[in-house]
Amino acid sequence: MRPTLAALLLVVAGPATAEPKVVTDIAPVHSLVAAVMGELGQPDVLLDAAADPHHITLRPSQARALAGADAVFWIGPALTPWLAKSLASRPETIALTEFPGTALITGHDDHGDSDHGPFDPHAWLDPANAVLWLRVIGETLGRIDPENAAAYAANAQKAAADLQALSAELAAELAPLTGNRYLVAHDAYAYFAGHFGLNLSEAISDSDAEAASAARLAELRDSLAAQPVTCAFHEPQQSPAGLETLLAGTDTPQATLDPLGSALAPGPALYPDLLRAMAGSIAHCAD
């Protein structure tokens, strides 16, 4: 039997290159990686956006995904210390906060445990860091899949340009609000505030892994009586009880800030939509 034309072409061309198997830790990182991969593949994400990233036990399916990954992109052990042991033997493990040039806010320990590092791990909330990481992601994928390196680089460059344009747009939207004071659920927004010049100066809790103490709530109540805030923000990942107790009897407007994008559809649009949602929530609450 003569081989078919399709079979001959397959022999000449060789087998199709399998798409890289890529795993990410949280939804915002997944979004950045998905933007760089484009049509060349779909990354997996370990944690859905509603999960607390600090304390998770991997399911068997997640452990298998990690074991078979060609690359893993994660924020780093400051955010998910439980993940570090699982990644110890991976050949392409990129802790984004450890990449040179990443802007980190030091002197901050979100977990109250110095073993997790003396910096704020919520670095994805600075769009300038995300722009840098897009290049890192593109270069890493290009090493793993050199046949498509140019496509990854082009996708990363376009995503970075779009993100820089969005950042300028949001800066103009938030510029009139830089003199306002805001209360947030936990101390996670210094990167966003610093990038856009906002004063998110009061936080109910230092960490989203623990509730505020009665002493902290009393301290904040006195502070707010002396200097009221323009708006107070809760998070979908946390109980609003502390905020409601603190603001009882006041007319302080309340809104939501979601640093993980839990209400957003996963994919390349999630990260820019997360920034838009945060800026919009601040702007509308201030109105």
Q: What percent of the chain has pLDDT over 70?
A: 82
Instruction: Point out the domain boundary residue: 169, 203, 224.
Output: 169
Whether 34 and 143 map to the same domain: the answer is: yes
Domain membership of residue 15 (yes or no) is no
Q: Is the pLDDT of residue 76 over 50?
A: yes
Distance, in Å, from the CA atom of 273 to the CA atom of 285, rounded to the nearest integer, reads: 18
Indicate the pairing of strand 181-186 with strand 254-256. unpaired
pLDDT for 131 equals: 98
Q: Residue 282 is which amino acid?
A: I
**Among residues 241, 244, 275, which one has the least CA distance to residue 258?**
275
Res 112: pLDDT? 40
> Which of helix, strand or coil describes residue 214?
helix
Q: Say if residue 40's pLDDT is above 80.
A: yes
| Burial class of residue 240 (count of CB atoms within 10 Å of its CB; 0-12, 13-18, 19+) | middle
Instruction: Give the count of domains, the chain.
Output: 2
| Average pLDDT score over the chain | 84
Q: Does 54 reside within a domain? A: yes
Q: In what order do the strands lie in the sheet with 71-74?
A: 44-45, 22-24, 71-74, 93-95
How far is it, in rounded angstroms, from Cα 107 to Cα 118?
5
Distance CA 159, CA 154 (A): 9
Are 261 and 209 in a shared domain? yes
Residues 118 and 161 in one domain: yes
CB 20 within 8 A of CB 71: yes
Cα–Cα–Cα angle for 194, 198, 201, nearest 5°? 90
Q: Are residues 153 and 199 in the same domain?
A: no
Taking CA atoms, 191 is separated from 11, 99, 111, 154, 199, in Å, by 53, 17, 17, 27, 11
pLDDT at 107: 62
Residues 250 and 229 in one domain: yes
- What are the phi and psi torsion angles at 22 (to 5°)? -125, 135
Same domain, 45 and 163: yes
**In a domain? residue 140:** yes
Confidence bin at 5 (pLDDT 50/70/90): very low
Res 63: pLDDT:
80
User: Residue 230 CB: number of other CB atoms within 10 A?
Assistant: 17
What is the span of the domain harbouring residue 112?
A: 22-169
Check residues 190 and 223 and name the one with the higher pLDDT.
190
Give pLDDT tens digits for 162-202.
999 999 999 999 999 998 989 888 788 999 999 999 987 67
pLDDT of residue 210: 59
